[in-house]
Amino acid sequence: MADTIYKIIPESHNFFPSDTKAIDGAVNILKTYIKADSISWEGFENTTFIDCGSNFELVKCSHCGANISEELWQEMMSRCYAESRFDNLNIYLQCCKKTSTLNELQYIMDCVFSKFVIEILNPVEPPCNHDVYEASKCFDKLKLKMITARY
């Protein structure tokens, strides 16, 4: 059976709380609102590309909306990883000769970069914005966002 995982991540790609209790707190808040197979979090030493499973289809330029080929995207991914372990996500887009970041590209289905991710596996009901907002209170003024992954 296919799994659906709702992934909650901070809006800032290289944010990681000084105390991981903040993430535990957010997980506990989500558990009070959401019934799911599991709710857990994972942290990464470096900024990591958070994929959306088979939902990943298309990447577009954040300025002009031109399609970015998978080949070019992979190349930009490799370069940013090699140069800064994804700490710096700046890229140059040939299509409109402007700079952007890997995080600002339009991912159809919203893939993102982050240093930690809270994963909600197969919830009975999709988590709502309210749940995400309540969880974000564990991180002061930092906003959280949610993507949906299918495998």
Binding site for Zn ion (CB under 5 A): 61, 63-64, 66, 93, 95-96
Nearer to Zn ion, 96 or 128 (CB): 96
- Non-local CB neighbours of 47 within 8 Å, separated by 6+ positions: 13, 14, 85, 86, 87, 89, 113, 114, 115
**3-state class of 84 per DSSP?**
helix
Nearer to Zn ion, 40 or 99 (CB): 99
Closest residue to bound Zn ion by CB:
61
Whole-Å CA distances, 15 to 65, 107, 131: 27, 21, 20
Nearer to Zn ion, 67 or 122 (CB): 67
| Of 115, 108, 127, the residue nearest 30 (C-alpha) | 127
CB 86, min distance to Zn ion, A: 22
| Of 97, 29, 105, 101, the residue nearest 67 (C-alpha) | 105
CB 63, min distance to Zn ion, A: 4
CB 104, min distance to Zn ion, A: 11
CB 116, min distance to Zn ion, A: 30
Nearer to Zn ion, 21 or 98 (CB): 98
